[in-house]
Structure 1
Amino acid sequence: MTKHILGFDVGGTKISAVIGNDKGEILSNVRKPTVKHLGKKRLLEEFYSMGTKAMEIAEVDNIDSIGIDFAGLVDRDNGIVVSSPNILGLDNFKVVEEVEKHFGVPTVLENDATAATIAERIFGSGRGVDNFVYFTLSTGIGGGAFLNGKLYRGAHGMAGEFGHMVIMSNGPNCGCGRKGCLEAIA
């Protein structure tokens, strides 16, 4: 039996809700522009309405799991958005707990650039490659790396946060709260 997955991509310019299946096929995609002052409650409302709409378009009655990716710092083990440079008011947001409560299915959280790195390994040019670095250059700057066939997360799980390396100590303020990050200067 085919499994259906609901995915949410929360980036700097758009929020997407996608229905896919375990064969890697995308069945529907609903997009809305990211609103910087959305906040936790309204973001959850967007997730619920966009997820329902994506299911309707895909003609899917039930989903088996949910994956959420966010630009910014996430604590994937505890399902928490630590901070998001794109939507204010999401600090320490227990998004997985809230989404699981609503949809009633297992939910995972990942950084958007790390999720893209994993997808590249499974579906893209990184397939079958043990060592590679993946860069994202979009609203933000990020990436990830596979070393010896395993995703490298680093000591604090932020190995791919290239955009938040401080390159100018007295530089402009960054969305992460520090000064002089590559992302704030670029």
Structure 2
Amino acid sequence: MNIVAIDIGGTKTLLTYIQGGSVVAREVWPSDFETWQALTDKVALFCKDRSFDGIAIASAGMVSSETITPLNTSVLSFVSQIDVRKEVERQFGKPCLLINDAAAAAYAEFSEALEHQEVRPAGNLLFVTVSTGIGCGLVLSGQPMTSPKGLACHAGHMRGLPARFTPMEACSCGLEDCVENLASGAALGRLASHLTGEPLSAKELFDSRFDRELSRQLIQQSTTQVAHLVDTLHLSLDLDCVVIGGSVGIRDRYFEQLCIDISSLRRPVSPPVMKRARFQADSGAMGAAIRLTETLKHG
């Protein structure tokens, strides 16, 4: 089965053509589209000479079966107030599936872990992406967790722990102290810029030219917050496995410090297995494609 899968993130939009379960073509664009039509025009060009059975869309934000509503209103405003599924099916004449990007990524990683017999068919897996924002996806009893309004799994906007470096402004979710506002890649970039007086991104914290001690402190602020998030959800859900993804989360220094922080909690229960995302940047698109393929086969 051939699927066109789109992953709409806060910074980048990934378009893939997935044939027989493998990505065979891709394009990446900045997520700065002024209108929904601007995005679908690019999709139409990508699809022009390709046959496909459906379009799967993974997106940040509150994703229902019909629409996408950004919870962080500073990004992805072009998707608001659009009946996305209806518009895509009208324009392309193919079935369309919508799913939150982190939920899709969780399902892709779960499906891969299941194939390698690393989780039980009815296992529980948490996916955490640390990138522009902090997204969470859950697979519970072998099924991706979704909800009618699309709010499920937005754990990145839970309140975090008291932090050494506090943000200069509230997150658009309404909280100053949510995990995303304290620990995301965008948050780390803002904090680094404020502390140094230079415009910086989270990527530059991992550069050897950046002040090593300040880099360590900022990265550990993030890993401490994410470790708290993982611990809270593990105590609530009894997780078998936690997969970390995102452009910040998969960095060696970040992932290793996160594992140290989780181990240092010294809970009287076994911690979940910690893994880095296998599919990395393709996780969301791949999970959405797997879900749509299952829907079409059993539909």
TM-score bracket relative to the smaller structure:
0.7 to 0.9
- When you count strand as a share of all residues, which structure comes out higher? 1
C-alpha RMSD of matched pairs (Å):
2.6
Is residue 70–residue 84 contact of structure 1 (8 Å, CA) maintained in 2?
A: no
Are 2:78 and 1:81 aligned? Answer: no
Is residue 73–residue 82 contact of structure 1 (8 Å, CA) maintained in 2?
A: yes
How far apart, CA to CA, are the structure 2 residues paired with 1:31 and 1:25?
Answer: 17
How far apart, CA to CA, are the structure 1 residues paired with 2:139 and 2:106?
Answer: 8
- When you count helix as a share of all residues, which structure comes out higher? 2
Are 2:139 and 1:152 aligned? Answer: no
Structure of larger gyration radius: 2
How far apart, CA to CA, are the structure 2 residues paired with 1:15 and 1:156?
Answer: 23
How far apart, CA to CA, are the structure 2 residues paired with 1:103 and 1:63?
Answer: 10
- So what's the TM-score if we normalise by structure 1? 0.79
Are 2:135 and 1:142 aligned? Answer: yes
How far apart, CA to CA, are the structure 2 residues paired with 1:157 and 1:84?
Answer: 10
What is the correspondence of 1:101-180 to structure 2 with a 5 Å cutoff? 101-123=90-112, 125-127=113-115, 128=117, 129=119, 130-153=123-146, 157-167=150-160, 172-175=169-172, 177-180=173-176
Change (3 A) 1:47 1:148: same
5+ residue gaps, structure 1, are none
Per-residue deviation at 1:96?
A: 1.1
How far apart, CA to CA, are the structure 2 residues paired with 1:44 and 1:119?
Answer: 28
Per-residue deviation at 1:89?
A: 4.6
Aligned twin of 2:22? 25
Provide, for residues 74-113 of structure 1, a one-character-per-residue CA deviation record: whole Å limited to 9, x for no partner. 112xx10122532225333211111111101010111110
Give the secondary-structure state (helix, strand or coil) at the position aligned to 1:93.
coil
Counterpart pick for 1:34 among 18, 31, 36: 31
Per-residue deviation at 1:154?
A: 6.3
Are 2:61 and 1:72 aligned? Answer: yes
Give the secondary-structure state (helix, strand or coil) at the position aligned to 2:80.
coil
Fraction of identical pairs, as percent: 29
Are 2:41 and 1:45 aligned? Answer: no
Change (3 A) 1:184 1:141: same
Per-residue deviation at 1:48?
A: 2.8
| Highest RCO, 1 vs 2 (Cα 8 Å, sep ≥ 6) | 2
Change (3 A) 1:147 1:87: closer
Letter in 2 for 1:163: G
Give the secondary-structure state (helix, strand or coil) at the position aligned to 1:105.
coil
Change (3 A) 1:34 1:5: same
Letter in 1 for 2:103: T
Provide, for residues 112-171 of structure 1, a one-character-per-residue CA deviation record: whole Å limited to 9, x for no partner. 100100111122x35452122221111111122223223234686533212111338xx7
How far apart, CA to CA, are the structure 1 residues paired with 2:98 and 2:40?
Answer: 14
Give the secondary-structure state (helix, strand or coil) at the position aligned to 2:38.
helix
How far apart, CA to CA, are the structure 2 residues paired with 1:148 and 1:91?
Answer: 32
How far apart, CA to CA, are the structure 2 residues paired with 1:114 and 1:52?
Answer: 28
